[in-house]
Amino acid sequence: MTKFIFVTGGVVSSIGKGITTASLGRLLRNRGFTVAPMKLDPYINVDAGTMSPHQHGEVFVTDDGAETDLDLGHYERFMDVSCTSGSSLTTGKVYSAVISAERRGDYLGGTVQVIPHVTNEIKRAIQALAKEQEADVLIAEIGGTVGDIESLPFLEAIRQMRTDLGHENTMYVHVTLIPTVGPWQEVKTKPTQHSVYKLREIGIAPDVLVCRSEVPLPNDVREKISLFCGVPPQAVIESTNVPTIYEVPLTYEAAGLGDFVVSRLNLEKRDANLAQWEKLVDTLKHPKTECTIAVVGKYTQNGDAYKSIAEALTHAGIPNDSKVNIRWIESDNLENGTPAEAFLEDVDGLVVGPGFGNRGIEGKIEAIRFARESGLPFFGICLGLQMAVVEFARNVCGLEGANSEEMLDNPPYPVIHLLPEQKHVTEKGASMRLGTYPCNVVHGTLAEKIYGNNRIEERHRHRYEVNNDFREKLQNHGMVISGVSPDYRLIEMIEVPTHPYFVGTQAHPEFKSRPNRPHPLFEGLVQAALARKANTAASVL
Ligand code: GLN
């Protein structure tokens, strides 16, 4: 039988519920438990697919093609699990299900209400995921902050689950803020007390308080929190800022959270098994070397818009014993007359990231031209591959004005185009090529060397594809098609073998990178970047 942990947040948003959920999951995974993470999002969008990365950060894509909140990325990276579409539940999804049931006549004669119909649907979805994943423990994070109107049905549903399943099988973790004020950095517990009162009003008494604080909590403060909030002192977990997010599970373990959860839920006591995680955190904190990778994108003002790419680069540093600094470059800035050289001459590698629409596109193409001509290691992801093909078509194959049909109606050379089956799609949500697809890696290519495998699987999220009419032309001029769909119809990967590292993929490998299993394409990029840096240093000497 599955045990359920519910994570709520209080006082302010962006308090780190996602990292808390992910870290708690890591502690249980270290102990060998099967953990299913879940995100309950109060917004009315059915999924995150139609939300702007400017506002909401990255859209994370699961193996089965769900477009979800970026917190699922944290869960996958920390817990080394694969989420499914069931791992993400939104108000939009819940209401769609309830309204469809009502139209079918499932509630015939009844008045459809938030309690019990909406709350039942939420409970059904939580139980369905626990069953699908055969989870020992399901950890569900409730988006938003306690006190928000939108999250009430979710909180009511998890309150009912305590009654349904019993104390021993359910647990509430509340993440809260302990601010410091005044010249003496006085630690203040009142906001936490109020947020716990708010939870209690709804009928939920927290079992654990994770207290985000700038400073370590003095003992008397911990005792005060314990007394006023009705949580045992050992369940008041201090969470101060640490140099890398991957250290958070270690600080929780040291604070006793792992053992507390195991005994509170009456799970089997097992070894906490920290060695692998400690080792990777140690490398992250004390790398031998460093390099700088530029990431050109169009949503770089929102630090979360390329979250998985940033994390994948960090992971790729681990086996290379290197810190990876990221220089974010807004693609618009490459279009105002300053040459790409000025932005890129002192970096060691370049990533051109995913994106939609034509703003900043010529800037991306310029950056790719510079990388191709100067031997700067380059990795193009989805739109990054597409623009690498456009650049190559224009500047190497001489196809002047070559472009993607996404950027221009009827370009003279539509080297990137819509597949016929995409042409008639009018609904925007979930209508792209989404989720995991297999790819044959071509023998003798750099891609084969990097993957060490001829059959790979990666996640996708795009509408446009390389136009096969230009396949030969690109190949005749030295571009190698290194990955194709099993039916040979779709070009999935490209490379330029005369260049030290010029690789593009139509997929999103960043979604599959884990700190304990960095993705080979990112690892290869960082390796090439370090080699270039060493060469440049040698040539200066
Ligand atoms: N806009 C491009 C397409 O839809 C690329 C998408 C992406 O980079 N994820 O094909």
> For helices 307-317 and 71-79, what crossing angle results, to 10°?
20
Which residue's CA is minimally distant from atom 3 of ligand 1?
462
Which DSSP string do the residues of 431-497 spell out, in sequence order?
A: -SEEEEEEEEEPTTSHHHHHHT-SEEEEEEEESEEE-GGGHHHHHHTT-EEEEE-TTS-SEEEEE-T
The yes-or-no answer on residue 382 being catalytic is yes
**pLDDT score for 422:** 73
Question: Among candidates 434, 378, 386, which has minimal Cα distance to 407?
Answer: 386
Ligand 1 pocket mutation pick from 406, 408, 425, 431 by most atoms within 8 angstroms of CB? 406
Which ligand 1 atom sits nearest the alpha carbon of residue 382? 8
Q: Where in the chain is the domain with CATH 3.40.50.300?
A: 3-279
Instruction: Using alpha carbons only, give the angle 508, 511, 513 rounded to the nearest 5 degrees.
Output: 115
What CATH number is given for 3-279 in this structure? Answer: 3.40.50.300
427 catalytic? Reply is no
- Ligand 1 centre distance from Cα of residue 87 (Å): 24
- Residues touching ligand 1 (Cβ under 6 Å) are 354-356, 382-383, 406, 461-464
Q: Are 506 and 384 in contact (CB under 8 A)?
A: no
Ligand 1 atom nearest to 356, measured from its CA: 1
Given 83, 510, 519, 523, the catalytic residue: 510
Q: What is the CATH number of domain 287-540?
A: 3.40.50.880
CA of 406 to the centre of ligand 1 (A): 9
Angstrom distance (rounded) from CA 495 to CA 502: 5
Query: Which of 387, 464, 511 for a ligand 1 pocket mutation test, highest count of atoms within 8 Å of Cβ?
Result: 464
Task: Report pLDDT for 539.
Answer: 75
The token pair that represents 328 in the structure block: 């974010």
Ranges for all domains in the chain classified under CATH 3.40.50.880: 287-540
Averaged in consecutive runs of 10 residues, what is the pLDDT profile of the chain (541 residues)? 96 88 97 98 89 86 95 97 97 97 93 96 98 98 93 97 97 96 90 95 96 92 94 94 95 96 97 94 96 92 90 97 96 87 94 92 95 97 97 98 95 92 70 93 97 97 96 98 95 97 98 97 97 85 63
Pick the catalytic residue: 83, 291, 382, 397? 382
Q: Are 384 and 353 in contact (CB under 8 A)?
A: yes
CA distances (Å), 276 to each of 76, 154, 169, 279, in order? 17, 36, 29, 5
Tell me the pTM: 0.94
C-alpha gyration radius of the chain? 25
What residues does 67 pair with on adjacent strands? 61
Q: Evaluate whether 117 touches 107 at the Cβ level (below 8 Å).
A: yes
How many whole angstroms from its chain centre is CA 288? Answer: 27
Q: Choose one of 358, 385, 415, 463 to mutate for the ligand 1 pocket test, by most ligand atoms within 8 angstroms of C-beta.
A: 463
Find the 418 Cα to ligand 1 centroid distance in Å. 11
**Model pLDDT, residue 541:** 63
